[in-house]
Structure formats: structure tokens, C-alpha cells
């Protein structure tokens, strides 16, 4: 499911729903959900208060009042849901946090790809997953010079490079296709062949797409729902993702779908030409 905008929507939802709540009980039904020692995770989280919820790229950071943070990644289909309705719990509910107001924070994940781990809040920057992340759109570090030097280091296809979270972070398979369509760049263009103009466009449209994705509540193309169970609307504004065989909204040529770096890739063969 989630790229940066979807994770941000989940973060905002959780902030209004569970910030300040005490976690009175923790149940982990799928042991591999937790990276590290499961019983230690349960011990440390039980009885703590949720102080704040942050985000770095696609990682949710649930800050507890005991100096620890739950680093949570939803991967493909992870979902949080806050509810007191027991029917919200099913065979795909892998973690259940009982809160002091009687509600439960339920983590659902059909494909079981998502992961959580506990990390000392003051040492978050040392976490391997967090440490390697490149700058994300809408942040102060996301500048032309920084992005240019990071992209030009690579000779892989630009699509693959933009999906590499150590180059820049936040984009996933949907938004990267949209950014490249907006920027008029063919997804198989070699990264080190890009012009300053191309880099400027990647910067500009990454910011725009992330901003719009957040404003529209995220993209729901398969299964994404926020923590209140609502779908997003960004899917109504996509130009290429999932549009194969339909006319490009800019030039009228049919959108094509190919494989780039093993990922389904949508682009307009007329607007986006390899240089």
C-alpha cells in the first residue's frame, strides 16, 4: 500500500486517535512481525504512553514516554485501525494494542510483509533502516544540488534509482511513474544521462505529487485505507499508473506498461523518450 503520502495520512489519523493514550496490553499474533525479541517488545511497550507519532519517509515512528520508539513499516499492505469493534480483528490482525480508553489499535497485514521494531528514541539515527534514507520531498535537505549529486552517481535506469530509498526517499511505484510522466523523462533513461533541467523537474514534481497525495488523502488503488477506514482520492488524479491502453491526457497516445527493474512501469511513449 503505502508510499510517503499514505504513511503521512496514517500518521495524522493516529495522532488524533491515539496520542496521549496508555497502552495497557499488547498481543503479537505473528511473531515475525517484530524484528528483535518479541517478549522484550511486549514488556517495553505495555504500560507506556504514546507521546507523539512521527514519520521518516515511509517509516512511522511511534514515540513512547519510556524513551523508546516503535519503528513501524507497513510495506505493501500493512494497515492500522483504531476501533472498539471486535469484528475489526480477523486472521490478518497480527498485533493488537489495547488502549486505556477501551479502544484497540489493530495492525492488519494480509501479506505479512510489514515490520515493527523497538528502538531507543535518542538513537534513532543509528538505526540501519533510518540511517541510510536519502532526503525526502518537502524537506529542507531536498535541494537541487543534493539531489543532482545523488542521482548522477548511478548508471541504472532513473526509475530504479528513484525507487532506491537511499538516493531519495518517499517515492514508491505509483508516484515515481507519475513524477517521470510529469517530468517528461522515460523511466529507462540512465540516471547519469539526466540534464539539470531533468533534475529540476524531478525535484519539482516529487514535491508536487507528495503534496497533492497528502491533500487527497493518499492513493487507494488496491487496498489502502487510513486508520479510520477511509480510502484516499489521489487515484482519481493519476496520469499513468494503471492507465495502460488509455490515451495520455497530454498527447493522446496510448499509455504503455513495461517492466523496469522488475517493477510494473507505466509511461507515455510519445511524451517520455529516452535521450
Element (DSSP H or E) covering residue 172: none
Residue 144 C-beta: closest distance to DNA, Å: 20
- Does 223 engage in binding with DNA (CB under 7 A)? yes
134, 169 contact by CB (below 8 A) = yes
98 phi, psi to nearest 5 deg: -85, 135
Q: Bridge-partner residues for 80, per DSSP?
A: 107
Binding mask 177-216 for DNA (x = CB under 7 A): ----------------------------------------
- Does 153 engage in binding with DNA (CB under 7 A)? yes
- Does 57 engage in binding with DNA (CB under 7 A)? yes
Number of chain residues interacting with DNA (CB under 7 A): 41
Q: Residue 270 class from Cβ within 10 Å (0-12 exposed, 13-18 middle, 19+ buried)?
A: middle
267, 258 contact by CB (below 8 A) = yes
Window of 13-21, 144-152, 169-177, 202-210 that interacts with DNA by CB under 7 A: 169-177
11 is in an annotated binding site: no
111 is in an annotated binding site: yes
Using CB under 7 A, pick the residue from 155, 193, 211, 275 that binds DNA.
155
Q: Which residues are catalytic?
A: 2-3, 58, 263
Give the chain's length.
275
Residue 174 C-beta: closest distance to DNA, Å: 5
15 phi, psi to nearest 5 deg: -55, -45
Amino acid at each position: 500500500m503505502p508510499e510517503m503520502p499514505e504513511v503521512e495520512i496514517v500518521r495524522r489519523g493516529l495522532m488524533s486517535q491515539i496520542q496521549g493514550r496508555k497502552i495497557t496490553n499488547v498481543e503479537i499474533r505473528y511473531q515475525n512481525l517484530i524484528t528483535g525479541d518479541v517478549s522484550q517488545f511486549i514488556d517495553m511497550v505495555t504500560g507506556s504512553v504514546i507521546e507523539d507519532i512521527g514519520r521518516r519517509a515511509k517509516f512511522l515512528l511511534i514515540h513512547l514516554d519510556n524513551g523508546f520508539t516503535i519503528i513501524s513499516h507497513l510495506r505493501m499492505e500493512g494497515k492500522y485501525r483504531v476501533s472498539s469493534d471486535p469484528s475489526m480483528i480477523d486472521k490478518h490482525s497480527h498485533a493488537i494494542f489495547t488502549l486505556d480508553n477501551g479502544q484497540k489499535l489493530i495492525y492488519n497485514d494480509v501479506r505479512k510483509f510489514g515490520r515493527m521494531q523497538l528502538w531507543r528514541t535518542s538513537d534513532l539515527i543509528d538505526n540501519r533502516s533510518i540511517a541510510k534514507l536519502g532526503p525526502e520531498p518537502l524537506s529542507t535537505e531536498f535541494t537541487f544540488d543534493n539531489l543532482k549529486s545523488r542521482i548522477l552517481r548511478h548508471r541504472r535506469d532513473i526509475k530504479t534509482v528513484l525507487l532506491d530509498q537511499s538516493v531519495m526517499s518517499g517515492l514508491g511505484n505509483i508516484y515515481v511513474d507519475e513524477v517521470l510522466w510529469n517530468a517528461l523523462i522515460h523511466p529507462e533513461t540512465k540516471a547519469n544521462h539526466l540534464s539539470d533541467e531533468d533534475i529540476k523537474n524531478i525535484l519539482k514534481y516529487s514535491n508536487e505529487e507528495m503534496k497533492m497525495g497528502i491533500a487527497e488523502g493518499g492513493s487507494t488503488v488496491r487496498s489502502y485505507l487510513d486508520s479510520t477506514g477511509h480510502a484516499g482520492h489521489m487515484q482519481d488524479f493519476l496520469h499513468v499508473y494503471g492507465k495502460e491502453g488509455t490515451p495520455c491526457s497530454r498527447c493522446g497516445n496510448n499509455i504503455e506498461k513495461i517492466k523496469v527493474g522488475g517493477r510494473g512501469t507505466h509511461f507515455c511513449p510519445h511524451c517520455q523518450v529516452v535521450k
